[in-house]
Chains A and B, each alone.
Chain A
Amino acid sequence: MEKNVSRATPDPTPTWRHPSVVANHKARTFRSLVFAGLCVACVLAVMIPLGDMLYMFAYRGIQVISIARLTGNPISATPGIGNAITGTAILTALSGAMAIPLGILGGVYMAEFSKGGRFSEALRFCADVLAGVPSIVLGYVCFLAFVVYFNFGYSAMAASIALAIVMFPYVFRTTEIAIRRVPESIKEGAIALGSTKTTMINRLVLRFAMPGILTGVLLALGISLSETAPLLYTANFANYNPTSLFHSQLGYLTGVIYLFYTSNLSFDVQLSYLATFVLIMIVVALNVVARLGLKRFSKV
């Protein structure tokens, strides 16, 4: 070990009292405050539109809300968004039924069975690219493929397929991440007890990863609820409930908002607000559930 060659000569003035250091320090303290203030300003700047949106649509929505309006459709005696609510429910359920199992099982494959080779690399790449595809492009493609070529017509089925493709990458990715978070020791323990990999995954891993998976599912459902463009292309829009999953148009909340907001009929515009209000409530509820659920299960 080298010997300390130079003995420090103590500075005549301790450095912290150097006038330049002190002056510089004043400037630094000021800068720190300024930037902290700027960050707070950023938060406020973004909270203002949010607040305005929530307030405005709550206000206008509550003015119009009533049972009749929530159950009727735009052409009944009391114009309502009942068919839109039903339509949104149908689309969410159908697309969820397709995308969620597909996404979860895909995530299971990626986390448990894949060997990290080119196949799974390509899969991951594909899923990430899919996540980035604009939904309008998906709508256009599904229109040409399903509405026209496969002759589903404007239908809940064509629209649900489009929505399912939108949802799939999210469920796929979040499931994989959630499963990978399950500690190896638990998985090894099960295998050591003689369990098959299948049972281990289905009974143990999925249960552990459920909070993360559910968050992904809720996120995907939220996305599906919020889509408009692909639905316009694949389901068109109707003022009544669909009679079949094929060749039958249907209404949906986002469609009400988009198609009625410039209407000359005043109650159409009001329906637009009402649909906005209802949709916001659903989204807020979803977010709250996701947050609470995550908090409760994070203690694992």
Chain B
Amino acid sequence: MMNERRETQGAVAASAQGFAPKAPGEMMRLVDFSAYYGSLEVLKHINLSILQNKVTVFMGPSGCGKSTLVRTLNRMNDSVPGFKTSGKVLLQGEDIYGPEVDPVLLKMRVGMVFQKPNPFPISIYDNVAFGPKIHKMTKSRSEMDAIVKDSLQKAALWEEVKDRLGKSAWGLSGGQQQRLCIARALAVRPEVLLMDEPASALDPGSTAKIEELMVELKENYTVVLVTHNMQQAARVGTNVAFLYKGDLVEFGPAADVFENPKSPLTEKYIRGSL
């Protein structure tokens, strides 16, 4: 019910602005998208669809371009010298590389969590409040308190830190820090959450918690996950994209990709012989 409401509103808003109509349930779409570092083509004519409220996984061996791909979704690659793109990346029908889109505001809609937890050396509260404060999302302290509490709850961290919000974030464990970073990203109310190997620097226990969290998060957000851990992709992912040397080799529901891979490359990778 809630999903339909968002979808309708999204479509209404989109068509009101004269954007291209999008497929139902689709949040982002890459249309013949290529990316270059100088003259080196690192992503080749990618076409794929990222569905709303699902977990889309990007998978592949080192150097396949999955990190580059996920970073193009929130234009984090803009600052890399010599970075060029061709093709479109549509967010709710609007090309994020188009001239009217401001990269800074885009990041309010598409948030990101990194491989190595990177909380700021300030208090837990201030970390979560950082984004909303910059964007002036709240007018009062109580509004901010509400956002901080809500975000920490959504990141499954509230109970553990609610009594020490003023303590430095650097005193938390690795897994807690990563959940804090998730809370921090959620605080600006993004529509899409990008997660670039969020658990690869964590111990198995924390990894499990993060995976549980990802499944929960997709209820309210669209999640894009980059991972090199196939079991994680199978556990958590709705759709899986397999990339190899910049090409999108295969894309489809997780079960299909892992059990009946269409491409021999995919099969090799799954078997571990790539």
Contacts and interface: CB of A to CB of B under 8 A. Distances in A.
Contacts of A8: 150, 154, 220
A1 B209 contact: yes
Nearest to A15: B189
Nearest to A4: B216
A2 interface: yes
Contacts of B134: 28
Q: Tell me which of A4, A24, A28 has the highest count of chain B C-beta atoms within 10 A of its own C-beta.
A: A4
Interface residues of B, number: 27
Interface in B143-196: 150, 153-154, 156, 158-159, 188-189, 191
Given A21-B135, A25-B105, A5 B153 contact: yes
B137 interface: yes
Interface residues of A, number: 22
B253 to A, nearest CB: 25
A10 interface: yes
B137 A4 contact: no
B80 interface: no
A16 interface: yes
A24 B133 CA distance: 11
A1 B109 CA distance: 28
A299 interface: no
Q: Tell me which of A5, A16, A22 has the highest count of chain B C-beta atoms within 10 A of its own C-beta.
A: A16
B153 A14 contact: no
Interface in A14-72: 14-16, 18, 20-22, 24-25, 28-29
A182 B253 CA distance: 53
B6 A10 contact: yes
Interface of B: 2, 5-6, 9, 102, 104-105, 108-109, 134-137, 150, 153-154, 156, 158-159, 188-189, 191, 209, 212, 216, 219-220
Given A15-B108, A15-B189, A16-B105, 16 more contacts: A1-B212, A4-B153, A4-B154, A5-B153, A6-B150, A8-B220, A10-B2, A10-B5, A14-B189, A15-B135, A15-B137, A16-B108, A16-B189, A18-B137, A22-B105, A25-B104
